[in-house]
Amino acid sequence: MTRASNGSDKSTERREQILEAAAVALAEVGFENITTRRIAQKAGVNVATLHYHFGTKEALLAEAVRHALSRAVGVLRPAMAGAATPAEALAAGIDTAWVLAQERPGILRYHLAVRSFQDPEAKRQAAGIYAAYRRLVEEVAERHLAEGGALAPGVTPAGLAHYVVTAVDGILLQHLVTADEGAARSSLDILRRHALSLLQSGPAPAEE
């Protein structure tokens, strides 16, 4: 390995370290209370290093959101793609969303959603996050149709995706407030069963 490539690897590793620290700090205190000093302390670097890699705090936070999204999708996608059937893929997505929420209490996208009411860039970022999650569910529905299955009358891949993502989001948000794990798990189980019932076998029945 050359000295240049070694330096590049270290720089990439340091950026990843800072982005992960920023995502954790954001989940803990939100956009309004986050400081570069807090991020630097979590990352184990000085503030000057943050500015060297990202320029401004705003640029760092925007990149941290993208990093968190990429990580979440990077966990969800293989969990769903590795399932033997579309039904198992949808169930895996719901189950994995719960696991991800437990790994990072505070859930970054909720802070982002609140901030989006006043910040156009935050709104764009939040919309991108939800679009990525919906796309994962749409792909499951499209796979189901491609394999000869059908969706319940009146249900489209986009509609199913919007329903599942919205429902999971609401359950996780309520759990964030109440910390009632039993209620959250029960609600997710009900959602899972209902969502799977919308994936039907055979051609779609004709609507009267």
**pLDDT, tens only, 78-107:** 999 999 999 999 999 999 999 988 876 556
The full set of domain ranges for the chain reads: 62-200
**Has residue 34 got a pLDDT over 70?**
yes
- Higher-confidence residue of 65 and 186: namely 186
100, 69 contact by CB (below 8 A)? no
Distances (CA, A) of 36 to 61, 62, 106, 120, 166: 10, 13, 19, 22, 32
The architecture of the domain spanning 62-200 is: Orthogonal Bundle (1.10)
- Higher-confidence residue of 48 and 4: namely 48
Say which DSSP state 199 is in: E
Distance CA 67, CA 39 (A): 15
Distance CA 42, CA 36 (A): 10
For 157-206, how does the pLDDT look when each residue is reduced to its tens digit (9 = 90+)?
999 999 999 999 999 989 988 989 999 999 999 999 999 999 998 665 55
Q: Which residues are within 8 A (CB) of 142 and not within 5 positions of it... i.e. 6 or more apart?
A: 157
**Has residue 7 got a pLDDT over 60?**
no
DSSP structure string for 82-133? TSSSHHHHHHHHHHHHHHHHHHSTT-HHHHHHHHTTT-HHHHHHHHHHHHHH
202, 150 contact by CB (below 8 A)? yes
Neighbouring CB atoms inside 10 A of 151's CB total 17
What's this model's pTM, rounded to 2 decimal places?
A: 0.79
